[in-house]
Amino acid sequence: MSHFVALSLGANLNNPLYQLISAIGEIKAHPEISSVSVSSFYRTKPIGPAQPDFLNIAITLQTTLSPLDLLTAMQAIEESHLRTRTLRWGPRTLDIDLLLYEDVTIDTKRLTLPHPRMQERAFVIVPLLEIAPTLTMPDSTSLQSLLSPLSDQLTDIHLWEIPSMHQLVIASHNAGKVAEFKTLLAPLGIEVLSLSDLNINSEAEETGLTFVENALLKARHIAEITQLPTLADDSGLVVDALGGAPGIYSARYSPEKTDAANNALLLKNLAETGDTERRAHFKCVLVLLQPANDPVPIISEGEVYGTILDAPSGENGFGYDPLFFFPPLNKSFAEVTPDEKNRNSHRGKALMDLIAKLNQRFG
């Protein structure tokens, strides 16, 4: 049986934006958690000793876990983010509080439900109201009514957003890439626009000799057309035995320039080398421009290592995913779930690097 749960997450150390978005991905990936909704990000003043401001969010979800098992799962995520508990109300890389679990009330040494201090904290109530405006407490008190006694705290809570980035154009006609970016960027509350959404058929000529050069060319070309913040990626498969090929030519490796033809040519060329290790890695470079003439574009990179299979395996993904075997999951990238891929892929890693750099620039 599935149960409604409300969580509060906060972070103020080691790139808080990165910590929160990474935690969101880990929560969504749990096999006994579903229907995850995430609030906007809020910058809030800390409680306790002098320390940096926090970024806070609220999450609602459905789970088949018991309250204590859910608490254990959330504490494991905290620990994976190197959370320490040396100072009460001190700074932390990640804090996950279990606020509500249906109408259950618990009062034990390990867990109290509802959370004993949620009614005292506007930085908990405000994000939760955004995604659950009709929510009530177990005693039938409305969540909205809890804000009135906390009005003096509201001046310390501010919606966090990346300046001038309410919309972001993905400079790609690849539907698979655009879908991945929409999923990965959803927690930031940014409206992601594809070239199809804007009826743009134009493409930059990829004359660069590196992933970075081509990503810059694509980003500038589309940003000049749209005059909107633009994110471009150049990514590809790098196979050791082929001297790094297909590399920057991954999407146009074969004369037909289709996934099936590219995969077939890769297998043919790799077989001719006699290589048995078949080592390879995916590489992704992201370039973010705000605006088109941005003198300091944000550039991030991500890589993921594996081997090339003898034949395609799996129905998910796109490009070379059916041939790329990822040892940590013991599957090809076409066999993993979208959540698994987003948490482990070169594109997901590059985006996490980008988010960390956004936090440094705008945090």
DSSP state of 251: G
Active-site choice (53, 69, 197, 234): 234
**Token pair for residue 360?**
């440094």
- Exposure string of 173-191, with b = 16+ CB inside 10 Å and e = fewer, is ebeebbebbbbbbebbbbe
Q: Assess whether 234 carries a catalytic annotation.
A: yes
Phi and psi (nearest 5°) for 280? -160, 165
DSSP state of 327: G
Q: Which of 59, 64, 89 is nearest to 77 (CA)?
A: 59
Do 187 and 20 touch, CB atoms closer than 8 A? yes
DSSP state of 53: P
**Token pair for residue 107?**
């009062």
Question: What residues have CB less than 8 Å from 19, skipping those under 6 apart?
Answer: 11, 13, 81, 93, 94
Residue 224's identity, in one-letter code, is: E
Q: Which of 335, 345, 6 is nearest to 183 (CA)?
A: 345
Residue 73's identity, in one-letter code, is: A
Do 25 and 352 touch, CB atoms closer than 8 A? no
**Token pair for residue 268?**
């043919």
Residue 263's identity, in one-letter code, is: N
So which residues are the catalytic ones? 234
